[in-house]
Amino acid sequence: MLIGAHVSASGGLYNAVSNGEEIGAQCIQIFVGSPRTWKTPTLGEKVLSRYREALANSEVVQDAVVHASYLINLGSSDPDLFERSKDLLISTVDVACAIEAYGVVLHLGSHKGHGLDAVEAQLADVFEEVGERLPRSSRTKLLLENTAGAGGTIGGSLEEVERILQLGAKRARVGLCIDTQHIFAYGYDLRNPEDRGRTIDKLSRFLDAVDCVHLNDSKSKCGGLHDRHENLGEGEIGEDALAAFLGASIFANSLVFLEVPGDGSGPRSSDVEAAKRLLTASG
Ligand SMILES: [Zn+2]
Ligand SMILES: [Zn+2]
């Protein structure tokens, strides 16, 4: 299990490595473009190799994932928006492959209440294209993130997550990213052993291992559906529940990323320390 955080890559992708080192992150999650614009910058070979070199030389940071833009909506019924979303995802996948990232973490978007059946065909289409795009020689995979559920976002329930993973696995290299805040906000209570055990059983039924974890406490109540992250131990879930949940064997080899607010500018070294303490307690 590597423990790290989402870090800024502004000013150059390679800065993300030193930003990770500064807070003691063993793995980093980055945006390769602004998460709120449609543009993925085409990164020149110079930038890419400088990044690869920084990562190879780092004694702290050992692995990385890319988080795709929040604008992507693969469940959109607007053909234009759907095509733009697919293009942006594919250009993000290309960058992730070029920097040999472990994966691309993706929010699928929203079906706006129409249900998964309504968008299954277009998701299959995207997985197909991404699958063709991922070089066999690369290890990069698509990491589908579970959602908190507000606004008809796809992948809130574990039943939906299972169906999407099955849909994807036939067409591309896919894996799962479990966000602890999202799963709790959707309604999976991690605080008592019975509910926690049921959730772990559900996951274990369709999955041997969870590739990636977003380790966050929650400002939202259980079942509140809001995507509102909180610092570890300062939210509704609490450190003990998080430690007990992530002690399950399906998380033994996960890459763990903090996406907590810190003091307003993201995860600090004290947050990474807290995560390491918490996960040592869980193991
Ligand atoms: Zn995310
Ligand atoms: Zn997340």
Q: What integer pLDDT is reported at residue 245 of this predicted model?
A: 97
What are the residue ranges of helices labelled H in 229-283?
239-246, 269-282
pLDDT of 25 strictly over 70: yes
Note the pLDDT tens digit of each residue in 151-196.
Answer: 889 999 999 999 999 999 999 999 999 999 999 999 999 999 999 9
Find the 258 Cα to ligand 2 centroid distance in Å.
8
Nearest-ligand number for the alpha carbon of 259: 2
Find the 282 Cα to ligand 2 centroid distance in Å.
20
Find the 87 Cα to ligand 2 centroid distance in Å.
22
Q: What is the dihedral of CA 273, 147, 34, 17, to 10 degrees?
A: 30
CATH number of the domain bearing residue 165: 3.20.20.150
Find the 106 Cα to ligand 2 centroid distance in Å.
9
Domain count for the chain: 1
**Does the annotation place 229 within a ligand binding site?**
yes
Note the pLDDT tens digit of each residue in 52-88.
Answer: 999 999 999 999 999 999 999 999 999 999 999 999 9
Question: Quick one: pLDDT band at residue 22, thresholds 50, 70, 90?
Answer: very high
pLDDT of 135 strictly over 90: no
Angle ∠(182,278,225) on CA atoms, nearest 5: 10
Q: Are 45 and 13 in contact (CB under 8 A)?
A: no
Q: What integer pLDDT is reported at residue 283 of this predicted model?
A: 63
Which residues make Cβ contacts (< 8 Å) with residue 175, sequence separation at least 6?
103, 141, 142, 143, 144, 210, 211, 212
**Does the annotation place 217 within a ligand binding site?**
no
| Nearest C-alpha neighbor of 123 from the set 134, 135, 108, 138 | 108
Which residues make Cβ contacts (< 8 Å) with residue 194, sequence separation at least 6?
none
Find the 214 Cα to ligand 1 centroid distance in Å.
8
Q: What integer pLDDT is reported at residue 267 of this predicted model?
A: 98
Q: Are 199 and 242 in contact (CB under 8 A)?
A: no
Nearest-ligand number for the alpha carbon of 258: 2
Domain of 246 in residue numbering reads as 2-282
Q: Are 67 and 29 in contact (CB under 8 A)?
A: yes
